[in-house]
Amino acid sequence: MSKVRVAGFGLSLDGFGAGIEQSLSDPVGKRGPEIFQWFFHTRTFCSMHGQEGGTVGDMDDEFAHRAMDNFGAFILGRNMFGPVRGPWMDGSWRGWWGNNPPYHAPSFVLTHHEREPLVMEGGTTFYFVTGGIDEALARARKAAGSKDVKIGGGVSTVRQYLQAGLIDSVHLALVPVLLGQGEPLLHGLDLHALGFCVTDRKASEYATHFVLEKVAIQS
């Protein structure tokens, strides 16, 4: 059965999933890239960006591969798609990733402003959803078929889906970095009450990987 998953989500030791002052020059905020040092050195990351090299077969690459595997659709917040705000004045902004984004599947962008679908190279089409998280999930499930749906971020989007009880599995890469400030992922969320338990934990030089799965709560 297909699942709704968060995977490969980097988190600082003090709980931040992005830094402050996100902008065109700092897509994940000031010092945000430090959260993803576990990911950047992997072959999975290099391959996603058309590059050679990268580590393969280690713990980080294993989790990086799993974080992009078996997904038939993606859901992204508008911040994740880009820094443009307000109505779409033109079609000049086409995402952070160039002409061939790493998704290779239908990708649904949450927004308050309508925009025509954006067809990219490599099988990615961005659909702009104005009806909220439930509409985006319904459309993503239909597009994904038997494969999983990935809630790709950013922090606000993941929090909304967690709060609504719509996520089945979460993979967090907890990195030994203190950001001090930024966007907190889990503040105010009771993951135990939402039905999650830790089902896997493995550590590498760069991160400790936690997998949380939703299970039936024992009364």
The string of pLDDT tens digits covering residues 150-207 is 999 999 999 999 999 999 999 999 999 999 999 999 999 999 999 999 999 999 999 9
Distance, in Å, from the CA atom of 21 to the CA atom of 56, rounded to the nearest integer, reads: 33
What are the beta bridge partners of residue 183? Answer: 18
Burial of 92 (0-12, 13-18, 19+ CB in 10 A): exposed
Number of H helices, E strands in the chain: 6, 11
Choose which CATH entry (3.40.50.300, 3.90.1330.10, 3.40.50.1980, 3.40.430.10) describes domain 4-19+28-84+100-214: 3.40.430.10
pLDDT of residue 216: 62
Residue boundaries of the structural domains of the chain: 4-19+28-84+100-214
Q: What is the DSSP letter of 145?
A: T
Q: What does pTM read for this prediction?
A: 0.94
Q: Three-state SS for 55?
A: strand
CB neighbour list of residue 190: distance below 8 Å, 6 or more residues apart: none
Distance, in Å, from the CA atom of 86 to the CA atom of 49, rounded to the nearest integer, reads: 29
Cis amide prior to 82 (ω within 30 degrees): no
Q: With a cut of 90, say whether residue 30 has pLDDT above it.
A: yes
